[in-house]
Amino acid sequence: MKKMDIEGAIFDVDGTLLDSMGYWEHLGDEYLLSRQLQPPENLANLLASMTLLEAAEYFKKHYGITDEAEEMIKDFDQLMAGHYREEIPEKEGVRQVLEDLQKRQIPMYIATATQRSMVEAALKRTGLDRYFQGMITCQEAGESKRNPLIYQIARERLGTKKEKTAVFEDAVFAAQTAKKDGFFLVGIYDIWEPQPELLKKTADIYLKTWSEWK
């Protein structure tokens, strides 16, 4: 299938619509500094494979923080919520793609692992919210993006055929999930994805920048 045959589109948010992955990458540093603690230079690498709960337990163990892990996660969320509300920008060139799809009357939906309130704040501030019919989060779906359920729910709400529905993703693991389930996959490069070549291999269309969508 070619992109001109797309009848529906499902968009990831972080690293796809929004240039936000760097904020998540440096959340650990930001949190420790907010507690007047000095983060090590390699903290981002140490935390890369951890959940927020695991990161909280790591900080408790190595930095003597006595707060409950659940309270620490609330602090993480508060820091990130401020970024979504006030400063995280849209990815360069993405608005033109959304305009193109809208002009072609292709319905669009959001599928994200991030909290709904954070995403809604950023999309409202940037004005990107007007392009989308709705949103589904991993929390609402009850599954991570290692399971295709979130994409299936989004497609059902769009009312489009799976093979005619494009999923736009920057993360390899999520892209592989959507592709394996039969969606048309558009991979978008993000500097924070460590395996861009694998994403390129997985995708039906691979974009180094959004401006390549023509």
Domain ranges in the chain are 3-19+89-212, 22-86
Model pLDDT for residues 80-131, shown as the tens digit of each residue: 999 999 999 999 999 999 999 999 999 999 999 999 999 999 999 999 999 9
Name the average pLDDT for the chain: 95
Q: What is the pLDDT of residue 61?
A: 94
3-state class (DSSP) for residue 195 = coil
Structure token pair of residue 165:
């529905």
Element (H or E) spanning 169, and its range? Answer: strand 165-169
Q: What is the pLDDT of residue 48?
A: 78
Structure token pair of residue 153:
């729910």
Q: Distance (Å, rounded) from C-alpha 193 to C-alpha 171?
A: 6
Which pTM was predicted? 0.92
Residues 6+ apart with CB under 8 A from 160: 7, 8, 107
Structure token pair of residue 5:
């045959």
Please name the CATH architecture into which domain 3-19+89-212 falls.
3-Layer(aba) Sandwich (3.40)
